[in-house]
Homo-oligomer: A and B are copies of this chain.
Amino acid sequence: MEYLENIRNLRGRCVLRRDIIREFLAELLGTFVLILFGCGSVAQTVLSREAKGQLLTIHFGFTLGVMLAIYMAGGVSGGHVNPAVSLAMVVLRKLPLKKFPVYVLAQFLGAFFGSCAVYCLYYDAFTEFANGELAVTGPNATAGIFASYPREGLSLLNGFIDQVIGAGALVLCILAVVDKKNIGAPKGMEPLLVGLSILAIGVSMALNCGYPINPARDLGPRLFTAIAGWGLTVFSMSLDLWGKTEHPEET
Protein backbone atom coordinates (compact mmCIF):
# COMPACT_ATOMS: atom_id res chain seq x y z
CA MET A 1 0.00 0.00 0.00
CA GLU A 2 2.83 2.30 0.98
CA TYR A 3 4.64 1.29 -2.17
CA LEU A 4 1.69 2.37 -4.28
CA GLU A 5 1.53 5.63 -2.38
CA ASN A 6 5.20 6.24 -3.16
CA ILE A 7 4.69 5.55 -6.81
CA ARG A 8 1.83 7.98 -6.85
CA ASN A 9 3.90 10.65 -5.12
CA LEU A 10 6.79 10.15 -7.51
CA ARG A 11 4.43 10.37 -10.40
CA GLY A 12 2.91 13.50 -8.92
CA ARG A 13 6.33 15.14 -8.66
CA CYS A 14 7.20 14.27 -12.24
CA VAL A 15 3.90 15.69 -13.37
CA LEU A 16 4.64 18.88 -11.44
CA ARG A 17 8.05 19.18 -13.08
CA ARG A 18 6.52 18.71 -16.51
CA ASP A 19 3.69 21.11 -15.76
CA ILE A 20 5.36 24.15 -17.23
CA ILE A 21 6.03 22.32 -20.51
CA ARG A 22 2.45 21.16 -20.69
CA GLU A 23 1.23 24.67 -19.98
CA PHE A 24 3.55 26.06 -22.65
CA LEU A 25 2.17 23.59 -25.19
CA ALA A 26 -1.42 24.21 -24.11
CA GLU A 27 -1.13 27.98 -24.56
CA LEU A 28 0.62 27.47 -27.88
CA LEU A 29 -2.09 25.11 -29.15
CA GLY A 30 -4.85 27.36 -27.85
CA THR A 31 -3.53 30.50 -29.53
CA PHE A 32 -2.85 28.50 -32.70
CA VAL A 33 -6.48 27.43 -32.84
CA LEU A 34 -7.72 30.94 -32.06
CA ILE A 35 -5.76 32.36 -34.99
CA LEU A 36 -6.67 29.46 -37.28
CA PHE A 37 -10.41 30.09 -36.85
CA GLY A 38 -10.25 33.85 -36.24
CA CYS A 39 -7.85 34.96 -38.98
CA GLY A 40 -9.18 32.12 -41.15
CA SER A 41 -12.62 33.71 -41.07
CA VAL A 42 -11.15 37.10 -42.05
CA ALA A 43 -9.18 35.46 -44.87
CA GLN A 44 -12.30 33.70 -46.15
CA THR A 45 -14.19 37.00 -46.16
CA VAL A 46 -11.46 39.19 -47.70
CA LEU A 47 -10.22 36.69 -50.29
CA SER A 48 -13.74 35.97 -51.52
CA ARG A 49 -14.48 39.72 -51.56
CA GLU A 50 -17.33 39.06 -49.09
CA ALA A 51 -18.92 36.34 -51.24
CA LYS A 52 -18.16 33.59 -48.71
CA GLY A 53 -17.97 35.68 -45.57
CA GLN A 54 -19.26 38.84 -43.98
CA LEU A 55 -19.05 40.92 -40.84
CA LEU A 56 -20.90 38.33 -38.77
CA THR A 57 -18.91 35.32 -39.90
CA ILE A 58 -15.74 37.12 -38.81
CA HIS A 59 -17.30 37.84 -35.41
CA PHE A 60 -18.29 34.18 -35.15
CA GLY A 61 -14.78 33.13 -36.19
CA PHE A 62 -13.14 34.94 -33.28
CA THR A 63 -15.95 34.06 -30.83
CA LEU A 64 -15.72 30.35 -31.58
CA GLY A 65 -11.94 30.50 -31.96
CA VAL A 66 -11.59 31.79 -28.41
CA MET A 67 -14.17 29.30 -27.16
CA LEU A 68 -12.46 26.30 -28.74
CA ALA A 69 -9.02 27.55 -27.69
CA ILE A 70 -10.19 27.58 -24.07
CA TYR A 71 -11.73 24.11 -24.37
CA MET A 72 -8.36 22.88 -25.61
CA ALA A 73 -6.01 24.69 -23.25
CA GLY A 74 -8.26 25.44 -20.29
CA GLY A 75 -7.74 22.30 -18.27
CA VAL A 76 -3.95 22.57 -18.46
CA SER A 77 -2.97 26.23 -18.48
CA GLY A 78 -6.26 28.03 -17.86
CA GLY A 79 -6.60 28.89 -21.52
CA HIS A 80 -5.54 32.53 -21.37
CA VAL A 81 -4.44 32.65 -25.04
CA ASN A 82 -3.87 36.37 -24.45
CA PRO A 83 -0.96 38.14 -22.70
CA ALA A 84 -3.40 40.72 -21.30
CA VAL A 85 -5.35 37.95 -19.57
CA SER A 86 -2.14 36.32 -18.32
CA LEU A 87 -1.06 39.70 -16.94
CA ALA A 88 -4.39 40.12 -15.16
CA MET A 89 -3.97 36.64 -13.67
CA VAL A 90 -0.48 37.58 -12.44
CA VAL A 91 -1.88 40.74 -10.84
CA LEU A 92 -4.67 38.70 -9.22
CA ARG A 93 -2.04 36.18 -8.02
CA LYS A 94 -3.64 33.34 -9.92
CA LEU A 95 -0.52 32.89 -12.08
CA PRO A 96 3.04 32.93 -10.65
CA LEU A 97 5.05 35.80 -12.10
CA LYS A 98 7.83 33.47 -13.23
CA LYS A 99 5.42 31.62 -15.53
CA PHE A 100 4.32 34.85 -17.23
CA PRO A 101 7.11 35.03 -19.87
CA VAL A 102 6.59 31.34 -20.68
CA TYR A 103 2.89 31.95 -21.27
CA VAL A 104 3.50 35.04 -23.41
CA LEU A 105 6.12 33.30 -25.52
CA ALA A 106 3.78 30.34 -26.06
CA GLN A 107 0.95 32.67 -27.06
CA PHE A 108 3.16 34.60 -29.44
CA LEU A 109 4.49 31.42 -31.09
CA GLY A 110 1.01 29.91 -31.30
CA ALA A 111 -0.28 33.01 -33.05
CA PHE A 112 2.69 32.99 -35.42
CA PHE A 113 2.19 29.35 -36.38
CA GLY A 114 -1.56 29.90 -36.62
CA SER A 115 -1.07 32.59 -39.23
CA CYS A 116 1.30 30.26 -41.12
CA ALA A 117 -1.49 27.68 -41.18
CA VAL A 118 -4.03 30.20 -42.51
CA TYR A 119 -1.55 31.22 -45.21
CA CYS A 120 -1.01 27.57 -46.20
CA LEU A 121 -4.74 26.89 -46.15
CA TYR A 122 -5.40 29.71 -48.60
CA TYR A 123 -2.04 29.75 -50.44
CA ASP A 124 -3.67 29.50 -53.89
CA ALA A 125 -6.27 32.10 -53.02
CA PHE A 126 -3.57 34.53 -51.87
CA THR A 127 -1.68 33.92 -55.11
CA GLU A 128 -4.75 34.60 -57.21
CA PHE A 129 -6.08 37.58 -55.26
CA ALA A 130 -4.88 40.82 -56.88
CA ASN A 131 -2.45 38.75 -58.98
CA GLY A 132 -0.50 37.74 -55.92
CA GLU A 133 0.29 41.27 -54.79
CA LEU A 134 0.53 41.32 -51.00
CA ALA A 135 -0.77 44.81 -50.21
CA VAL A 136 -0.99 46.45 -46.80
CA THR A 137 -3.35 49.23 -47.88
CA GLY A 138 -5.79 49.96 -50.65
CA PRO A 139 -8.71 47.97 -52.06
CA ASN A 140 -6.60 44.82 -52.39
CA ALA A 141 -5.14 45.00 -48.88
CA THR A 142 -4.71 41.60 -47.32
CA ALA A 143 -2.45 42.46 -44.39
CA GLY A 144 -5.61 43.18 -42.37
CA ILE A 145 -6.36 39.45 -42.49
CA PHE A 146 -3.60 38.85 -39.99
CA ALA A 147 -3.25 41.98 -37.88
CA SER A 148 -5.38 44.96 -36.88
CA TYR A 149 -4.88 48.35 -38.44
CA PRO A 150 -6.43 51.50 -36.99
CA ARG A 151 -9.11 53.40 -38.83
CA GLU A 152 -7.81 56.47 -40.67
CA GLY A 153 -8.17 59.58 -38.57
CA LEU A 154 -7.83 57.89 -35.22
CA SER A 155 -5.68 59.91 -32.85
CA LEU A 156 -3.07 58.26 -30.67
CA LEU A 157 -4.95 59.30 -27.52
CA ASN A 158 -8.25 57.86 -28.72
CA GLY A 159 -6.46 54.69 -29.80
CA PHE A 160 -4.98 54.37 -26.34
CA ILE A 161 -8.36 54.91 -24.64
CA ASP A 162 -9.85 52.38 -27.05
CA GLN A 163 -7.34 49.74 -25.98
CA VAL A 164 -7.74 50.50 -22.28
CA ILE A 165 -11.52 50.21 -22.45
CA GLY A 166 -11.37 47.10 -24.66
CA ALA A 167 -8.85 45.17 -22.58
CA GLY A 168 -10.49 46.29 -19.34
CA ALA A 169 -13.90 45.14 -20.54
CA LEU A 170 -12.49 41.77 -21.60
CA VAL A 171 -10.79 41.11 -18.25
CA LEU A 172 -13.90 42.27 -16.37
CA CYS A 173 -16.14 39.94 -18.40
CA ILE A 174 -13.85 36.95 -17.94
CA LEU A 175 -13.63 37.51 -14.19
CA ALA A 176 -17.42 37.87 -13.93
CA VAL A 177 -18.14 34.76 -15.96
CA VAL A 178 -15.80 32.47 -14.03
CA ASP A 179 -16.59 33.91 -10.58
CA LYS A 180 -18.21 31.09 -8.64
CA LYS A 181 -19.03 33.45 -5.72
CA ASN A 182 -21.11 35.48 -8.14
CA ILE A 183 -23.59 33.80 -10.52
CA GLY A 184 -20.80 32.25 -12.56
CA ALA A 185 -21.17 30.07 -15.62
CA PRO A 186 -21.96 26.37 -15.03
CA LYS A 187 -18.93 24.11 -15.05
CA GLY A 188 -17.92 23.49 -18.64
CA MET A 189 -19.81 26.44 -20.12
CA GLU A 190 -17.21 29.09 -19.27
CA PRO A 191 -15.48 28.85 -22.67
CA LEU A 192 -18.75 29.56 -24.49
CA LEU A 193 -19.44 32.58 -22.30
CA VAL A 194 -15.91 33.97 -22.63
CA GLY A 195 -16.38 33.55 -26.38
CA LEU A 196 -19.63 35.50 -26.19
CA SER A 197 -17.77 38.25 -24.29
CA ILE A 198 -15.44 38.50 -27.27
CA LEU A 199 -18.50 38.77 -29.49
CA ALA A 200 -19.86 41.58 -27.28
CA ILE A 201 -16.59 43.47 -27.62
CA GLY A 202 -16.47 42.76 -31.34
CA VAL A 203 -19.90 44.23 -32.06
CA SER A 204 -19.39 47.31 -29.89
CA MET A 205 -15.69 48.26 -29.81
CA ALA A 206 -14.29 47.25 -33.18
CA LEU A 207 -14.80 50.50 -35.07
CA ASN A 208 -11.51 52.17 -34.14
CA CYS A 209 -8.96 49.40 -34.62
CA GLY A 210 -10.88 46.14 -34.97
CA TYR A 211 -10.48 44.98 -31.34
CA PRO A 212 -6.77 43.95 -31.18
CA ILE A 213 -7.23 43.43 -27.43
CA ASN A 214 -4.81 40.53 -27.62
CA PRO A 215 -1.16 41.60 -28.17
CA ALA A 216 -0.07 38.06 -29.08
CA ARG A 217 -2.95 37.64 -31.51
CA ASP A 218 -1.83 40.86 -33.18
CA LEU A 219 1.96 40.77 -33.00
CA GLY A 220 2.54 37.12 -33.94
CA PRO A 221 0.61 37.28 -37.21
CA ARG A 222 1.98 40.77 -37.91
CA LEU A 223 5.53 39.42 -37.72
CA PHE A 224 4.46 36.58 -40.00
CA THR A 225 3.17 39.05 -42.61
CA ALA A 226 6.43 41.02 -42.39
CA ILE A 227 8.38 37.85 -43.15
CA ALA A 228 5.97 36.30 -45.66
CA GLY A 229 6.12 39.15 -48.12
CA TRP A 230 4.03 42.10 -46.97
CA GLY A 231 7.22 43.80 -45.77
CA LEU A 232 8.07 46.02 -42.83
CA THR A 233 5.24 48.42 -43.67
CA VAL A 234 3.03 46.23 -41.49
CA PHE A 235 4.84 47.66 -38.49
CA SER A 236 5.18 51.28 -39.50
CA MET A 237 1.58 51.45 -40.71
CA SER A 238 0.18 50.43 -37.47
CA LEU A 239 -0.81 51.99 -34.19
CA ASP A 240 -0.63 48.70 -32.40
CA LEU A 241 -0.97 47.86 -28.74
CA TRP A 242 2.63 48.79 -28.08
CA GLY A 243 1.88 52.33 -29.15
CA LYS A 244 5.45 52.85 -30.29
CA THR A 245 4.87 53.32 -33.98
CA GLU A 246 4.01 56.54 -35.71
CA HIS A 247 0.49 57.59 -36.51
CA PRO A 248 -0.98 56.22 -39.75
CA GLU A 249 -2.27 59.65 -40.75
CA GLU A 250 1.26 60.90 -40.80
CA THR A 251 2.65 58.02 -42.85
A184 interface hit (Cβ, 8 Å) = yes
> Within the assembled complex, what's the spacing in Å between the Cα atoms of A183 and B177?
15
Q: Which of A188-204 contact B (CB under 8 A)?
A: 188-193, 196-197, 199-201, 203-204
Q: Which of A47-80 contact B (CB under 8 A)?
A: 47-48, 52-61, 64-65, 67-68, 70-72, 74-76, 79
> Within the assembled complex, what's the spacing in Å between the Cα atoms of A162 and B118?
10
A238 interface hit (Cβ, 8 Å) = no
Q: Please indicate the chain B residues that have their CB under 8 angstroms from the CB of A182 in the complex.
A: 71-72, 74-76
Interface string of A154-180 (1 = CB under 8 A from B): 110010011001000100110011010
Q: Please indicate the chain B residues that have their CB under 8 angstroms from the CB of A79 in the complex.
A: 183
A181 interface hit (Cβ, 8 Å) = yes
> Within the assembled complex, what's the spacing in Å between the Cα atoms of A44 and B39?
21
- Are B60 and A203 neighbours in the complex by a CB distance under 8 Å? yes
> Within the assembled complex, what's the spacing in Å between the Cα atoms of A182 and B68?
12
Provide a sorted-by-A list of 24 A–B residue pairs whose CB atoms are within 8 angstroms: A38-B204, A40-B205, A44-B206, A53-B207, A54-B55, A57-B59, A61-B200, A64-B199, A64-B203, A65-B204, A67-B196, A71-B173, A71-B177, A72-B182, A74-B182, A74-B183, A75-B183, A117-B165, A121-B205, A124-B153, A186-B186, A189-B189, A192-B193, A192-B196
- Are B67 and A37 neighbours in the complex by a CB distance under 8 Å? no
A153 nearest in chain B by CB position? B128
Q: How many A residues touch B, CB cutoff 8 Å?
A: 78
- Are B68 and A200 neighbours in the complex by a CB distance under 8 Å? yes
- Are B203 and A53 neighbours in the complex by a CB distance under 8 Å? yes
A127 nearest in chain B by CB position? B153
Q: Which residues of A are in contact with B by a Cβ distance under 8 Å?
A: 33, 36-41, 43-44, 47-48, 52-61, 64-65, 67-68, 70-72, 74-76, 79, 117, 120-125, 128, 151, 153-155, 158, 161-162, 165, 169, 172-173, 176-177, 179, 181-193, 196-197, 199-201, 203-208
Q: Given A179-B75, A188-B189, answer yes or no on A207-B43 (Cβ-Cβ < 8 Å).
A: yes
> Within the assembled complex, what's the spacing in Å between the Cα atoms of A153 and B131?
12
- Are B64 and A197 neighbours in the complex by a CB distance under 8 Å? yes
Q: Which of B56, B172, B208 contacts A121 (CB 8 A)?
A: B208
A122 nearest in chain B by CB position? B207
